[in-house]
Amino acid sequence: MPKIEFRAESRTVECAPGTPLRDVCDQSKAKVPFGCRNGVCGTCEVIVMSGSENLSPVVAPEKETIESFGIPKGHRLACQVKVLGDCAVQPI
């Protein structure tokens, strides 16, 4: 099972492969803020500290938001990402 390290909280949780990061955050009560939960507002921006290759590819709504807000490379929207393997993230 993939492990997600929440660096700001110094803790790691496990999930089934393909689980949306949003759901992992909700279930584990991780301190990642969410607004719209649809990839539009940018509130749930996280820095991917490691394991970016273990996250789902960027989809259209996320890409549009990343471009419109000027979100840096290596950052993702937690509401749009699916966890496929081990990674470490930190909310902005």
Cβ proximity of 38 and 30 under 8 Å: no
- CATH topology for 3-91 is Ubiquitin-like (UB roll) (3.10.20)
Instruction: For residues 13 and 46, give the distance between their C-alpha atoms in angstroms, rounded to a whole number.
Output: 16
The tens digit of pLDDT for each residue in 57-88 reads: 999 999 999 999 999 999 999 999 999 999 99
pLDDT of residue 14: 98
Q: 87: which strand partners?
A: 4
pLDDT of residue 32: 97
pLDDT of residue 29: 96
pLDDT of residue 79: 97
Q: For the whole model, what pTM was predicted?
A: 0.95
The tens digit of pLDDT for each residue in 4-18 reads: 999 999 999 999 999
